[in-house]
Amino acid sequence: MCRCFSKKMLVVCFLVSATAFCGSFELRFSASIQNDANDIFPDSFVVFGSPQTLPEELGASPLFQPPAPPAGNYVQIRRARGLTDYTRDSMSYDPNEPNLLYSMTLSAFDEQAVGLSGNCVIQLENPEAIQNLPEDCLVYLRRFDSLGTFVGSYDLSDSNNHRFQWPVSEVSGVFGQLDFLVVDRCMAADLIVDDMINLYDYAAFAENWEQTGDGRVGDIFQDESVDIKDLSIIAEKWLCSCTE
């Protein structure tokens, strides 16, 4: 937490922001539908970020997903690039541009063509890697249903969100979407973009206080609600500069 009420504290702020993206991180997630028969092949994905130039053998692909299973009942989670264009490679991750958004679709396939039922489980397989994430960032997953309607946000700094699940019934094809986000806390709180977190930002925030819905100014932690969690980020960054 940095509260920049003095010159001395401004120095602290500078150090925090200057070191925010010096580490590399690699998060491994699994996606599965668990049922009584235990006959559904899970999928997984890896989110990787590094300030270093990526080695050639990694194909300059900071985000990895494994190949699809060949047949049977299975779940797939893939990066979405439009309705029909799905790829398993990459988006460029620039550590100097800390905000990262990685959208993925969840799909279900079954041999009997009746759809899959059970609990869809998303699990962070290496929670210890959380400590390697860029400092001072919001890191979270946002979940949407098959129609693209927002369902919930899962703050990965909270270990209770390292595994979450919801029931699905006879799903076939795309049945959900997950967005993985890494967002600089200061930049997210700079609602009126002038590099400082100040009364202008607070005024914009206060205008939407306790409102819900898509795209509200002030919904800093994006869970479609302008509430105490957002206010706490503004308070934490109060009078901070995001770029110094």
- From the list 91, 63, 88, the residue with the least C-alpha distance to 78 is 88
Alpha helices (runs of H) in the chain, residue ranges in sequence order: 7-18, 185-189, 199-207, 228-236
Cβ of residue 216: shortest distance to Ca ion, in angstroms? Answer: 8
Long-range contacts, 15-22 (Cβ 8 Å, 24+): 16/135, 16/136, 17/136, 17/186, 17/241, 17/242, 17/243, 17/244, 19/135, 20/98, 20/134, 20/135, 20/136, 20/137, 20/184, 21/51, 21/95, 21/96, 21/98, 21/134, 22/51
Cβ of residue 231: shortest distance to Ca ion, in angstroms? Answer: 9
Q: Residues 101, 102, 103, 107: what is their CA dihedral angle, to the nearest 10 degrees?
A: -160
Cβ of residue 212: shortest distance to Ca ion, in angstroms? Answer: 9
Nearer to Ca ion, 75 or 233 (CB): 233
Cβ of residue 210: shortest distance to Ca ion, in angstroms? Answer: 11
Nearer to Ca ion, 39 or 224 (CB): 224
Residues in the site for Ca ion, rule: CB under 5 A?
219, 221, 223, 225, 230
Nearer to Ca ion, 110 or 136 (CB): 136
Cβ of residue 227: shortest distance to Ca ion, in angstroms? Answer: 6
Cβ of residue 41: shortest distance to Ca ion, in angstroms? Answer: 35
Q: Which residue has the tokens 């799903």?
A: 171
Nearer to Ca ion, 2 or 220 (CB): 220
Nearer to Ca ion, 116 or 191 (CB): 191
Nearer to Ca ion, 201 or 223 (CB): 223
Rounded to an integer, what distance in angstroms lies between the CA atom of residue 167 and that of residue 143? 13
